[in-house]
Structure 1
Amino acid sequence: MFLSAKRNLSPLLKKLSYRLIGEPTEFSLENRIFNTICLIAVFILAFNVPYNYLTGLKVTALIFSVLVIAFAGIYYLSRFHKKLNTSIALSVIVVNVLFAVNYFFSGGIQGASLLSFTLAFFLTMLISPRSQYAWWLIVNLVVVIGLITYEYYFPGSAPSVYDTREDLFADMTPTYITNVIVIFIGTVYLKNAYKKEKERGEEKTRSLELMNAEKSKLFSLISHDLRNPLASIQSYLQLIREVELDAADKAQIEGELLYVVNNTQEMLYNILVWSKTQMEGPNINLVPVNVATALEPILQITRMAVVKKNIDFKAEIDTAVDVLADINMLQLIIRNLLGNAAKFTPAKGTIEVSTSKQGNNCRIEIKDSGTGIRQQEDIFSLKVRSTFGTDNEKGVGMGLYLCKEYTIAQNGKIWYQNNPEGGSSFFLELPLAG
């Protein structure tokens, strides 16, 4: 029960943390650290206001009250207006000026002011850009050494404010404890933030390496797999130019040339879609789509494409079924699945497309009597090596990868099976609309 409550509480604390210091996607690490320190500073200063007042340091209590208001305003400027550099400069100036004034009202070198300056400098270094480190070091040293020097030559400028020895200990002890706790929290927070940023950077590096590997593989496939269809087109065009052909031979060659061009166009379209997705991310528009209407143009093209191989093509589509889908993604998936079926189905084979309702989903099945799937591992990834079809058709091996990616983007499922009687079946399930 305790673990369950802890799991439920963790997302709430994370959400509250992001609300207070900013989302990692919107605010830099430095900005989030500064916002955190501002909140801690407001809490500590607010706590010290009544404490200093009760221990007799009324001026110090007043100064800390001003600091509470100042840091609340600086936090607002940083968190809600994202003015980080301005906020850092204001916070350092306000702290040094007010701590310098407080120095003369809290016992000077005998009081807790130097400990406060030390803590302020630590927090300054924690939140400042590296380019400002030397500047803030000089400011801190000049202010502190200047105050000490002034008090040394003018001893009466910082009179003792502690009536008893107990008052001195009552001021110094909590100030030291506060400094140590803040330094501890700041260091732990900074290390954790650094670790998370490092892990995020390593994850991005791994993603980039994977993407580069995929791109290298893709370019290798393109250079190899587009060579054959282009060579075929060149040969056909050369033959038509150099040899006088009768009408029948010319019609046959033109039909084959059109078939090669269509296959090559399909390859290039897949490459274009993949490239656009990699650069811009998938553009998904999920709306109610009538399956029969969406599939009809794809089925018409497939009927014409399989004529060359004398494949028997059948389609049984329920005209009353609507799915929640992106029509362009749905058509790309079906076009690739039908293209693969045509590619690996021999002459006089069969391809069947059918739809059925499965609970709240519509299942689209594409069944063929082809060669089946021999290379079954990672078939939906770019790791798969494309093979030649029954009529030497060739692809770049990314059609099924796109099918998988676009199916997931539409909250669907896709899988396949080798049929006992031969060939294979691919199944696509998408949620029913309404």
Structure 2
Amino acid sequence: MPNKKQKIAAVLALLVYVFSVLSLFAWLTGKPALYVNLTPFITNNIYPVSSIVLLLLANSLLLQTLQEKKYQQINTISLVLLAMIIAGIEFSSVAFSNRDFSINAYLLSLLPTTDTPKPLTFQVAAALVLFSLSCLLLYIRNFYTVYTSQITQIFIISMIITVSYGYIYNQRTLLEYTKEIGMTFFESLLFILLSLSMLFLKTNEGFLKIASGNSSGAILIRNMLPVIVVLPLILGWVSYLGFKYNFYSERFGAALLQSVTVMLTASILILLAHIISFQETQRKKAERETLRMQQDLAHIVRVNSMGELASGIAHELNQPLAAIQLYAAATQRMIEQTPENKKIDKNLESIKEQTQRVSEIIKRMRSFLRKQQPKVEKVEIEQCVDDVITLLQHKLYQQNIRVVKSFDYPIPMVKVDSIQMTQVILNLFQNAIDAMRNTLDRPSLITVRIYSKRRILHVEINDTGSGISNNEAEDIFNTFFSTKGEDGLGVGLSICRTIIEAHNGRLWFESKENEGSTFFFTLPLA
């Protein structure tokens, strides 16, 4: 489904589409639409070849927002390529002054109009080529092509706004530079609508993704764009009204206009500096608060995870404690009877080992539950995996789940917070265990693979569980979304992704329903 901004793009493209169809229909009936002279300087007709190219481009934009993805790319690019060919032929006829190649002149010769058959102006032909090329770059779905397309659209809008202002003030803008009117008022209007449609189509990519961010540069761009559009209009009206009502002479007015422009620009820049400074302070404050809340939430999840593991850990502690009791009782009997040093030493050594085992389990629990600031240090990721397997040993035994470790040694160390990494791996293991709870038709198996490639450590955790459905896959990393119903908080995977990305890594998954899932994450080497 298209988002709100894509719907705006579709509406703008639809307006261009409707005006283009109206223009073509009017040419066919011999009564060119949009041919009303608003002022002595303005001619407003849209020539047939412009209407055709605009129609194709608007249609491609509509398909891009509304059509199913499997047909989207082929159909939109086909329409854009056709528009580019038509615009290219027309541009060539203008550039080489060869009317025989002009599609516009040919169409006018066939239509029942009084217009003299002629090619488009250089400006319109160039604009149509630029639009077609920008559309093509926009659909390639690459950051740099989308970025280039959006920057091109912003420059086109700036140029066409200048032309539109010229018409508003009864000034033939292009005439001063090119000795021809060059672009009609309604052509410039449709070009602006088409440019805006293209910009709204991909607001989450390219230049607009940067402009919509929270950086100082993004804030400056957002605040300056309205000024760029409005300031020329205000200054133009000040100049126009001053001359009209004889407030000042033309020479004095020009000097006054320049002074006002400088003062307004300086005032706006000072105001923007204050706005940016305030917003930057607020942004940093919000980021600190968000980070604190994420750490608190991660701590709550760890406590909750340990609560779920409590019965298993109690079982793990009972085993060594029972063993200690037996060894101690046996040693006591030996001492009471005839002490044999070797047997007593062996029992005492066993007591020592079991005590260390209890101590290690408690130490891991305390370390995992402790609320502390992230401590980044060199860590062996396989040790985190082993710690998780130890914590989950009883749960794995209960569900008859086998863990297979496939490690490509030597495994390089990574610079991470070991507690956070243990939390990520524990969450992925618990999800795998839950996914295999009801899969009785095949062996329950968790496979952990660790390897390094190109200075990146790769970790894969695969299960043979029920898998993730296509409907669930889209929301799997969203906060408070859970596939476990009332049993899940829905924050585990969201926190896992936050932790991995905070360590400059990436977390994603692949899954087949009723076959199992594999979660992958990467981390840069230390």
Q: TM-score range by the shorter chain?
A: 0.3 to 0.5
Q: TM-score, normalised by structure 2?
A: 0.32
